[in-house]
């Protein structure tokens, strides 16, 4: 499983817990307590860290359970209809909660939103007219406006004002990081690619990159606080500094690829042990980026490179701006410079116009590349995208499901084969968690392979050496060496 899948799964699990965890008969609502339910990708989880920090600057504190929350915010994903349905399915829970305590405030942010507004605004987001339980919505780049929205909804609400100097941009809000040893740093926001199936350019706006010095400062502070692994985030991280907005800003020099400049700067941070990034776009994946990954001290041998389709015809309909020959040349160069590099991808099954012939082109190309990991999804049209407006979703659900299972079965084989490379080897694992049901520790090696082994709770957050005894389809089993 790749990182996108893990994050989406975590968001789904959180949604399932909302109703089961709320005891309406025994609830005791406390003042200025927030809870954030996050759906979607790593970018959403990073956004939630900034949102949590902002709310605490207003005087809120994190609620230990939904029962005591007076502010509930859903940070939403809109990549597929199913993602929105998970959010909308929680409205009964919120309705019961607000009936129990009318003072509870409910807000939505993330990819489902279009217009930052409250139920009292003249121009409202459509969600506010569709969901009677909803009090306000905001696009994540409008995070500094949350305090104003809260006051619109509850004029008598007593909140501490955050310093305006700290709120002049989304990027300058200091996150409340989930762990001390791992952190995600957004280096840009928005997207300029306009893939025909994707809502991101409309929900997050056009690409805008952060200053290299600001990212370096945040990363340095994290490392000084004990962080061992940093992941750089963006819709298209390797177009960092290249957008029209970025060039207009005058913040970047172009004697060298701005993304390579950033990677080189971060590579010099004393004490930084691991650096990753996600997700690059094949259109902007240049050899100089791959060369620096191969030569750097901190960058890990793992690249997530979204393919989406192995059919040139479908790639053109998706407006991906590369073909399979270009993609294959990138993979070949990666494996030339970094022979053991883990390569993961995204695939959309059943896109508009995908005949059996075009699907088989994807299957064969997927087999030829031999991916380590993949997030395979079945296409569903997103309202407002070009695919929704101009194309026909003409592949049946049954056919999409059949193709998904076929490709997933192929992934099982390629993933197992790639994992078997590590059998008998000793790898360095950053320990992330304890699986309470099995009593085993879970972590990831430098190649982003999940490793499971026996060990003590005190090892969480540490990098340890593990000898791999057995390779499975999705993970590696081993023992402390």
Q: Residue-wise pLDDT tens for the chain (481 aa)?
A: 333 333 333 444 444 444 444 444 433 334 789 999 888 777 888 888 889 988 988 889 999 888 889 999 999 876 666 667 777 888 888 888 888 888 899 999 988 888 999 998 989 999 999 899 999 999 888 888 898 899 889 887 765 454 444 444 667 676 777 789 999 999 998 899 999 999 888 877 899 999 999 999 999 999 999 999 999 999 899 999 999 999 999 999 999 999 999 999 999 999 999 999 999 999 999 999 999 999 999 999 999 999 999 999 999 999 999 999 999 999 999 999 999 999 999 999 999 999 999 999 999 999 999 999 999 999 988 888 999 999 999 999 999 999 999 999 999 999 999 999 999 999 999 999 999 999 999 999 999 999 999 999 999 999 999 999 999 999 999 999 9
- What token pair was written down for 449? 């392979």
Q: What is the pLDDT of residue 341?
A: 98
Q: What is the pLDDT of residue 8?
A: 37
The CATH T-level fold of domain 208-300 is Transcription Regulator spoIIAA (3.30.750)
Q: What is the pLDDT of residue 67?
A: 82
- What token pair was written down for 454? 């026996």
Q: What is the pLDDT of residue 80?
A: 65
Architecture of domain 423-480: Beta Barrel (2.40)
For 301-421, the fitting CATH number among 3.40.640.10, 3.30.750.200, 3.40.50.150, 3.30.1490.100 is: 3.30.750.200
pTM of the model: 0.80
Question: Cα–Cα distance between 193 and 195 in angstroms, integer?
Answer: 6
Where exactly does CATH 3.30.750.200 map onto the chain? 301-421
SS3 sequence of the chain: CCHHHHHHHHHHHHHHHHHHHCCCCCCCCCCCEEEEEECCCHHHHHHHHHHHHHHHHCCCEECCCHHHCCEEEEEECCCCHHHHHHHHCCHHHHHHHHHHCCCCEEEEEECCCCCCEECCCCCCCHHHHHCCCCCEEECHHHHHHHHHHHHHHCCCCCCCCCCHHHCCCHHHCCCCCCCCCEEEEECEECCCCCCCCCCHHHHCCCCEECCHHHHHHHHHHHHHCCCCEEEEECCCHHHCCCCHHHHHHCCCCCCCCHHHHHHHHHHCCCCCCEEEEECCCHHHCCHHHHHHHHHCCCECCEEECCCECCCHHHHHHCCCCCCHHHHHHHHHHHHHHCCCCEEEEEEEECCCCCCHHHHHHHHHHHHHHCCCEEEEEECCCCCCCHHHHHCCCCCCHHHHHHHHHHHHHHHHHHHHHHHHHHCCCEEEEEEEEEECCCCEEEEEECCCCEEEECCCHHHCCCEEEEEEEEECCCCEEEEEC
For 3-166, the fitting CATH number among 3.90.320, 3.10.20, 3.40.50, 3.30.2000 is: 3.40.50
Where exactly does CATH 2.40.50.140 map onto the chain? 423-480
Q: What is the pLDDT of residue 166?
A: 45
Nearest to 194 by CA among 283, 312, 81, 77: 283
Where exactly does CATH 3.40.50 map onto the chain? 3-166
Where exactly does CATH 3.30.750.210 map onto the chain? 208-300
- Specify whether the CB–CB gap between 200 and 191 falls below 8 A: yes
- What token pair was written down for 69? 């929350």
């Amino acid at each position: 499983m790749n990182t996108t899948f893990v994050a989406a799964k975590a968001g789904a699990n959180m949604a399932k817990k909302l109703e089961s965890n709320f005891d309406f008969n025994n609830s005791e609502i406390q003042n200025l307590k927030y809870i954030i339910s996050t759906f979607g990708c790593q970018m959403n989880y990073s956004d939630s860290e900034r949102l949590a920090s902002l709310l605490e600057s207003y005087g809120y504190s994190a609620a230990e359970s939904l029962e005591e929350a007076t502010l509930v915010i859903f940070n939403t994903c809109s990549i597929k209809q199913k993602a929105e349905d998970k959010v909308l399915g929680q409205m009964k829970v919120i309705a019961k909660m607000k009936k129990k305590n009318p003072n509870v405030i409910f807000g939505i942010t993330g990819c489902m939103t279009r217009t930052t507004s409250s139920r009292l605004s003249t121009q409202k987001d459509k969600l506010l007219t569709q969901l009677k339980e909803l009090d306000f919505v905001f696009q994540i780049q409008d995070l500094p406006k949350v305090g104003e929205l809260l006051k619109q909804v509850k004029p008598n609400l007593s909140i501490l004002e955050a310093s305006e100097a700290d709120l002049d941009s989304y990027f300058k809000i200091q996150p409340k990081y989930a762990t001390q040893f791992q952190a995600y740093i957004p280096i840009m926001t928005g997207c300029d690619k306009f893939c025909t199936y994707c809502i991101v350019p409309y929900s997050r706006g056009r690409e805008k990159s952060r200053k290299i010095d600001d990212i370096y400062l945040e990363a340095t502070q994290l490392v000084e606080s004990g962080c061992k692994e940093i992941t750089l985030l963006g819709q298209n991280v390797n177009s960092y500094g290249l957008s029209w907005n970025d060039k207009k800003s005058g913040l970047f020099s172009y004697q060298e690829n701005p993304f390579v400049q950033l990677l080189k700067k971060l590579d010099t941070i004393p004490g930084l042990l691991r650096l990753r990034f996600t997700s690059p776009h094949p259109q902007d994946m240049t050899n100089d980026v791959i060369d620096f990954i191969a030569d750097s001290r901190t960058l890990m041998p793992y690249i997530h490179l979204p393919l989406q389709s192995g059919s040139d015809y479908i790639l053109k309909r998706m407006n991906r701006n590369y073909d399979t020959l270009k993609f294959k040349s990138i993979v070949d160069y990666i494996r030339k410079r970094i022979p053991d590099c883990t390569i993961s991808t995204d695939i959309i099954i059943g896109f508009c116009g995908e005949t059996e012939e075009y699907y088989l082109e994807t299957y064969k190309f997927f087999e030829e590349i031999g991916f380590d990991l993949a997030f395979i999804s079945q296409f569903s049209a997103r309202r407002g995208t070009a695919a929704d407006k101009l194309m026909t979703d003409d592949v049946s659900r049954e056919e999409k499901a059949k193709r998904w299972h076929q490709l997933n079965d192929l992934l099982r084989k390629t993933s197992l084969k790639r994992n078997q490379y590590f059998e008998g080897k000793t790898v360095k694992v950053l320990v992330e968690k304890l699986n309470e049901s099995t009593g085993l520790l879970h972590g990831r090696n430098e190649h982003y392979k999940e490793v499971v082994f026996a060990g003590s709770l005190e090892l969480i957050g540490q990098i340890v050496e593990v000898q791999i005894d057995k390779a499975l389809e999705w993970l590696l089993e081993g023992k402390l060496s």
